[in-house]
Chains A and B, each alone.
Chain A
């Protein structure tokens, strides 16, 4: 059984630094592994507990993104590969799906199962996994909270949403997106950490993946950002200072709307 887990290094958007000109100061921000991708790693590790499985973590990004591959190996993943090329920069979901699906075809062709985190905290489109699966014509299901069975032919997964829980059986090779997985991320082990530091992580570029320049990066992305701004909207409400105001005055205002 061969498994590929797709992970991404993202800025820690819970701790944002602003410049004086109201821009985000990216140089001050920490990079972290996308939280949902940690659950994707746990899902792969759960399969490995009972089956003979080999897990490869795949990430796209600059050289620095090897940090998340190391983290994945420290957590128990077997190997990691980096998809790195300046021509990948600025890829939208469509171009990213070309790059990731080409990595499966060219580098990891006999992979049985692809695992993604449901969403990334920086882009949050939640569509990348679905798009990669569509490109490879793999069956795909999202919102996976558990894996109930896996063998050489199929995988059974539990997909949960607000109203229901459904068990699906997907023919392999298949793709799943994980959300609120039963096994919560555990801390890396010392042996894993040591192994992760010594490992040689292979890097692949546009030519290795057999992609045309027009399919990747800005050139391969149909969508582009026209403008980015910090939203300045206001309802011009009344603001009270609790310590300085009689509460019945505040309550009078509240009563008007309740």
Chain B
């Protein structure tokens, strides 16, 4: 069968609905679709959802033409071995030109397995997608520690890409989707992994992906209690605390607070970058922020090109001054 259209993997969110990255990918897929003869956009949904009718119409409202649903008793919860193999079988049954997957842990597991089984190329953590020459997918991603950007093409079908949450904006449209309830024999899938136990973590840090204000520290803040200033400023602004890769590597923040290509992509109203020079991989993670304020002592730091407001100066002087001004207003 000739490969046709775009297939998107739909992982769950924490409330058994659809993960927001899926709507972002659908919005992007509508743009790509116009460049490949308006071929269909299909979404593959594995396992239980709280309400199928609502889910299907919601996916339709973001541009899905077709929703392929696979469910049975074994598929209620995400399970790497079942979900990956089922997605491969769906991609074989309805062969697409393009497969897009949100780069969550689940999405990346499914993507790696699928590309191997279909013997096709996979471009991970893309910052943009387009259709290039010969109607093939053009995937853009940071490379070389985030210092360079690469445009990547793929010779085989399907052409696969993973994209982090918050890279694209989700927008609704007037549209509705058809549903296909499919069935795949899970008896034939060999299980070699068993879940012994899961412990939910409850840490008090604010979720970066939904925070309105983020104060973020880089290597410049990794000395002389610089992060204490970051926390104080975030507290005054009721914002979340984040950091760059080097702040993570030096132990000042947890992995869940790391912003950038290998951490999280964020889209707050205001992103305040303190002592962050602005490697490409970090900039990729903050490009959808509303306004960016940068404080850095090096006037040539790349972050200033990317900032709406830049302050060239010592953060140990600038941030206390800023906190002082905020305090004055009460």
**Which residues does A use to contact B, with CB under 8 Å?**
11, 13-14, 16, 24, 35, 92-94, 97, 119, 121-127, 130-131, 134-135, 138-139, 141-143, 156, 161-171, 174, 179-180, 221-235, 237-243, 247-248, 250-251, 253-254, 257-258
A156 CB to closest chain B CB (Å) equals 7
A58 CB to closest chain B CB (Å) equals 18
Please choose the segment from B34-42, B53-61, B145-153, B165-173 that sits at the chain A interface, where 4 or more of its residues have CB less than 8 A away.
B145-153
Q: Which residue of A lies closest to B261 (CB)?
A: A124
Question: Do A228 and B312 touch across chains, with their CB atoms under 8 A apart?
Answer: no
Question: Do A253 and B313 touch across chains, with their CB atoms under 8 A apart?
Answer: no
A230–B149 CA distance with the chains assembled, in angstroms: 6
Please list 10 pairs of residues, one from A and one from B, whose beta carbons are closer than 8 Å in the complex, sorted by A's number: A126-B262, A134-B113, A139-B193, A168-B196, A224-B152, A233-B305, A240-B312, A242-B318, A247-B321, A247-B322
Question: Do A258 and B270 touch across chains, with their CB atoms under 8 A apart?
Answer: yes
Question: Do B196 and A156 touch across chains, with their CB atoms under 8 A apart?
Answer: yes
Please report which residues of chain B, range 84-126, place their CB below 8 angstroms from some CB of chain A when the two chains form the complex: 105, 108-109, 111-113, 115-117, 119-125
Question: Do A227 and B150 touch across chains, with their CB atoms under 8 A apart?
Answer: yes
Question: Do A235 and B153 touch across chains, with their CB atoms under 8 A apart?
Answer: no
User: Which secondary structure characterizes the binding site on chain B?
Assistant: mixed
Q: Which 9 pairs show the lowest CB-CB distances between chains A and B?
A: A13-B145, A242-B313, A222-B121, A130-B112, A223-B121, A139-B192, A134-B116, A239-B310, A125-B124
- Residues of the A chain whose Cβ atoms lie less than 8 Å from the Cβ of B201: 162-165
A155–B306 CA distance with the chains assembled, in angstroms: 47
User: Which secondary structure characterizes the binding site on chain A?
Assistant: mixed
Most buried by A among B14, B195, B308: B308
B314 part of interface (Cβ distance < 8 Å)? yes
Please report which residues of chain B, range 281-330, place their CB below 8 angstroms from some CB of chain A when the two chains form the complex: 281, 283, 290-293, 299, 304-314, 317-318, 321-322, 325
Most buried by A among B111, B195, B305: B305
B156 part of interface (Cβ distance < 8 Å)? yes
Our count of residue pairs bridging A and B at CB distance below 8 angstroms stands at: 225
Question: Do B307 and A257 touch across chains, with their CB atoms under 8 A apart?
Answer: no
- Residues of the B chain whose Cβ atoms lie less than 8 Å from the Cβ of A232: 305
Number of residues of chain B lying within 8 A (CB) of chain A: 79
Question: Do B198 and A164 touch across chains, with their CB atoms under 8 A apart?
Answer: yes
**Which residues does B use to contact A, with CB under 8 Å?**
14, 80-81, 105, 108-109, 111-113, 115-117, 119-125, 132, 138, 143-156, 192-201, 213, 237, 246, 249, 255-256, 261-262, 269-270, 280-281, 283, 290-293, 299, 304-314, 317-318, 321-322, 325
Question: Do A227 and B108 touch across chains, with their CB atoms under 8 A apart?
Answer: no
Tell whether A226 pairs with B122 under 8 Å between CB atoms, given A170-B192, A235-B308, A238-B310. no
- Residues of the B chain whose Cβ atoms lie less than 8 Å from the Cβ of A224: 152-155
Question: Do A223 and B312 touch across chains, with their CB atoms under 8 A apart?
Answer: no
Tell whether A168 pairs with B321 under 8 Å between CB atoms, given A226-B132, A242-B314, A243-B313. no
Q: Which of A97, A168, A257 contacts B293 (CB 8 A)?
A: A257
